A and B are shown apart, each in its own frame.
Chain A
Amino acid sequence: MIVVKNLEKHYKIAKRDPGLRGAIKSLFHRKFETKKAVKKINMHINAGEMVGYIGANGAGKSTTIKMLTGILTPTSGEVKVNGIIPYENRQQNASHIGAVFGQRTQLFWDIPVRESYELLKHIYEIPQAQYEETLKEFVDVLHLEPLLGIPVRQLSLGQKMRCELAAAFLHRPKVVYLDEPTIGLDVAVKVRIRAFIKQMNARYGTTVLLTTHDMQDIEEICQRIIIIDDGSVIYDGSIQDIKSQFGDKRVIHFELEDAADSFVLPEEIRALTEVLPTSDEDPHLVSLSFSNKHISGAEVIHTMMNHYSVADLTIADAKIETIVEEIYGRGMKKEVQHEEIR
């Protein structure tokens, strides 16, 4: 269904010195910096698959999805969706796909939801009978009934997202791209949305490519995940596989009494554990990653307690979340190194 070969996207970013002088200088002579957002990606997704596409912020997920939908032309490489090259036959491709971009609405801002659907019916040339049937089904599953008469601009985020999702599936597309469809939603709405996506896949065999930062979404919806980091695919396989492959990985978060900047890994465990980068928000947090094949969690905790006064600790087990955290962490470290080199 979706075939991607050696896909690359480089963004050109114009560099400009600040101020008026910079502006004038850039008129005559522009300096560009190339950002390789996606590097030589390959993937093959079959019809009816539900694939989670994950990676840290800025990894290149949205860029990939934009190329798959035809919004963006690749720098090099090949994309075929359902036998069509999206960025060359954009309109043709568009009638077979649906998309939700979590941050932006696809609906018509000023008019009531029902009328938006009505317009979409005509835009996608959906037969009346099919339209009615589909809409009725969606209204039931997503509880849209009370929302249909309200203009989109007056809906809350969760309400909007439900309507949005229905719009993406309305024409029974073969492929649906969901870019962070659960961003900013409460748990109840998330559950409903997940159920809806699964139901669509079961009933119509819709292929789904989903990006999200919520691992719960992935565990519940997808059989397969593709992990992208800094523009390259670093894992492509089933969730089961990754769990068994990285199943021995453990991460322990330590909350220290002292600030973490002065932290150094104790001598005894230095060879077997690794410090994961953490956010700046909590200056006392230290996260250690290790494999429980080589060292036990108890030993790590014991050693830490000996050297530092630990206020609190949490042990993350081999859930997908831990694994992803570990993988992202490495990616982030790379980024930090890059910056130092520059």
Chain B
Amino acid sequence: MLSRYIKLYYLFCKQNLKVMLEYRMDFLLGVLSVMLQQFAGIFFVKIVFDHIHALNGWTFYEILFIYGIAATGRSIHHIFFDNLWTLGWQYIRPGKFDRLLIRPINPLFHFIADRLQQDGFGQLFIGIIVIGTAMPHLSISWGVLEFFILVVMIIASGFIFVAINLFFATLSFWMVDSLPIVWTIFNLSDFARYPLTIYHKGIRHFLTWIVPYGFTAFYPAAYFIEGSGFERLALLTPVVAIVSCIFAYWFWNRGLKAFTSTGS
């Protein structure tokens, strides 16, 4: 069962890659543009830190580290789950979603596998470089265990992005296109690039317990930053990822049910 889906995913990817290579110029453009976009954000932080030593007690490299985890986690979402953006206007509105419902495979799987977004590789690349740059400057000794935890944290971060987008994209089943909502919520992730301690308490709680973007960058990063005071909470990251994915998937199934009973 699982192996069948893995095989299928591989085949879908292969097709997607072929299409991508057909438009090589665009592949490069996409990757480059996303890298530039990320770079602009980092450059901004750098400029600011040219004039200050610490932001609310956080050093430049610590901020960079948070930023890198956010970028890498987001890139997982961007590369593999980008189709979530298109549910309303490319699938439901033109009636293309019906196609997925008469196939003997999970419709969510089919929907996700339908597209691979090359542009996300730029983000992945920058994210890894940024993490790599910041790592040696953190006062922690990097062993195998730390590396392992870091990878787990990043994957969890990616899946929190996925879960949040899936949840709000699912609203499309009721309202045809929920893109404005998905987009607005996604903008909330901007908060996550900086230490949550700089914000008002209300915002912090909101981003921790309601829309858990805090777990996409700040908390996982804080695990590796000595004396951050969030080491405990940081360990919740994978749990939060799993819970939000389950919740989003449950919601998706509800949406699917509503969709098949209204048919619009």
Contacts and interface: CB of A to CB of B under 8 A. Distances in A.
Interface of A: 9, 11-12, 63, 66, 69-73, 87, 90-92, 94-95, 97, 99, 101, 103-106, 108, 110-111, 115, 118-119, 122-125
A123 B105 CA distance: 7
B116 to A, nearest CB: 11
A101 B102 CA distance: 11
Nearest to A63: B263
14 contacts: A12-B262, A63-B263, A66-B263, A70-B101, A71-B98, A73-B257, A91-B104, A104-B96, A106-B102, A111-B15, A119-B11, A119-B15, A124-B104, A125-B104
- Most chain B beta-carbon neighbours within 10 Å: one of A11, A97, A105, A122: A122
B137 interface: no
Contacts of B262: 11-12
A63 B260 CA distance: 11
A73 B94 CA distance: 20
B11 A122 contact: yes
A115 B12 CA distance: 10
Interface string B95-110: 1101101111110000
B19 interface: yes
B19 A123 contact: no
Contacts of B94: 104
Contacts of A63: 263
Nearest to B101: A71
Given A11-B264, A91-B106, A104-B94, 15 more contacts: A9-B263, A11-B262, A69-B101, A70-B101, A72-B263, A73-B260, A94-B104, A103-B95, A104-B98, A106-B99, A106-B102, A108-B15, A118-B11, A119-B12, A122-B7
A90 B110 CA distance: 14
Interface residues of B, number: 25
Given A91-B105, A91-B106, A94-B102, A72 B261 contact: yes
Interface of B: 4, 7-8, 11-12, 15, 18-19, 94-96, 98-99, 101-106, 257, 260-264
A13 to B, nearest CB: 9
Closest 5 CB pairs of A and B: A95-B104, A94-B104, A73-B261, A72-B263, A71-B101
Contacts of A97: 102
A311 B94 CA distance: 45
Contacts of B98: 66, 71, 101, 104
Given A11-B262, A71-B260, A123 B102 contact: no
Nearest to B264: A11
Contacts of B15: 108, 111, 115, 119
A104 B99 contact: yes
Contacts of B105: 91, 123
Contact of A122 (B8, B18, B99, B263): B8
A70 B102 contact: yes
A99 B11 contact: no
B104 A11 contact: no
Contacts of A69: 101-102
A87 B260 contact: yes
A111 B102 contact: no
Given A71-B102, A71-B263, A111 B12 contact: no
Contacts of A108: 15
Contacts of B261: 72-73
Contacts of A104: 94-96, 98-99
Contacts of A103: 95
Given A72-B261, A108-B15, A92 B96 contact: no
A73 B101 CA distance: 12
B103 A11 contact: no
